[in-house]
Structure 1
Amino acid sequence: MSIEIPGYRSGTWVLDPAHSEVTFSVRHMMISKVRGTFGVKEATLIAPENPLEAKVEAKVDVSSIDTKDEGRDAHLRSADFFDVENHPVMTFTSTGTRVQNGDFLVDGDLTIRGITKPVTFEFDFGGFGKDPQGNYKAGASATAVIDREEFGLTWNAALETGGVLVGKEVTIGLDLQGALQV
């Protein structure tokens, strides 16, 4: 099976970290959400003629976590959560690409804290075009929901009003821009 994506070009695409971001959100006290970002260390997309045969590899700098609260960020870097000293990078390696009910899905292995689990990202292509320097660029957004406890992120605190401080489900968001290598 093959699909048509207007403007798609095969080749090696490299992520532009200055125009890309990894975000997350998780329930806090079960009444609101905490949002944060990570810096993308590197990502490469090998895109053959058939987009459904594409392969993605990405690395995220876990120490770059930013929730706009230095104390919380330090706690998230600690062994209670990401254990950045022992696990400084989170990785994603695709295992397949497919279209389901009109949605473009990328399946892969996500590794956090040395624990690897399968995850599916739903992609939305923003489009393709040339920048002012003549570089061919692509943009996309993607989302996935994970259970943080499956990745060893189990720290929590019970609340006296019931419930817990940190929710289990984490929504991961990607806003990506990459350049076709020539």
Structure 2
Amino acid sequence: MTTIDIPGYRSGTWTLDPAHSEVTFSVRHMMISKVRGTFGMKSATLVAPENPLEAQVQASVDVTSIDTKDEGRDGHLRSADFFDTETFPTMEFVSTGARVQDGDFFVDGDLTIRGVTKPVSFEFEFGGFGQDPYGNYKAGASASTTINREEFGLTWNAALETGGVLVGKDVTITLDLQGSLQQD
């Protein structure tokens, strides 16, 4: 069985620290620039056995918390044209496996947006491990993936007079995470 050595890694159940974690995204706007935004993390749990490649992750993101620094745009993104947050208030991720490929660490899983579930792969970068002043053992990591938003039912768009469309198809999702190892 394949395994990976991550210095400082400890097995157990890890929970997300929402105050030190963030989900961001970026998408092309008018095909000339990028719009960036954030979502609030609702919850995330990592059950980590001795072998990190056998870890299991479940995470939930509060889609109603979307913030692109433009209230009008945020309202439109919450509407049925995009996320339909009244019907689908969360985005969910459930891992299906982890792997090392060409020296990089990936977590594969099923991402559900707007009731549509598709497989995705997040490339992870471990930030490290350490103990906080209160005796809690912490871990930090960043991860990213790019999805085609139209595959998740986010198909609204507008044609531009100069050619192209208002909103790009590819969305980059970036996670900056910190979690705590649960005390027994």
For normalisation by structure 1, the TM-score amounts to: 1.00
The share of aligned pairs that are identical, in percent, is 81
Q: How does 1:53-132 map to 2 (within 5 A)?
A: 53-132=54-133
Partner of 2:52: 51
CA deviation after TM superposition for structure 1 residue 61, in Å: 0.3
Query: What CA RMSD, in Å, does the superposition of the two structures yield over aligned residues?
Result: 0.2
Deviation at 1:92, TM superposition (A): 0.2
What is aligned with 2:25? 24
1:67 counterpart letter in structure 2: T
Counterpart Cα distance in 2 of 1:112 and 1:67 = 18
Q: 1:65 aligns to what SS in structure 2?
A: strand
Q: CA deviation at 1:56?
A: 0.2
**Unmatched tracts of structure 2, length 5 or more:** none
CA apart distance, 1:178: 0.1
Q: Distance in 2 between matches of 1:102 and 1:167?
A: 31
What's the CA shift for 1:85? 0.3
Q: Which residue pairs with 2:10 in the alignment?
A: 9
How far does residue 2 in structure 1 lie from its aligned partner after superposition?
Answer: 0.8
Measured after TM superposition, the shift of residue 32 of structure 1 is: 0.1
Alpha-carbon displacement from aligned partner over 1:47-67 (angstroms, at most 9, x marks no partner) = 000000000000000000000
Task: Could you list the structure 1 runs, at least 4 aligned residues long, displaced by more than 6 angstroms after superposition.
Answer: none
Match of 1:163, as an amino acid?
G
Secondary structure in 2 aligned to 1:25? Answer: strand
- State the secondary structure of the residue aligned to 1:109: strand
> Number of aligned pairs?
182
- Alpha-carbon offset, residue 155 of structure 1: 0.1
Match of 1:137 in 2: 138
Q: Which residue is equivalent to 1:41?
A: 42
Q: TM-score, normalised by structure 2?
A: 0.99
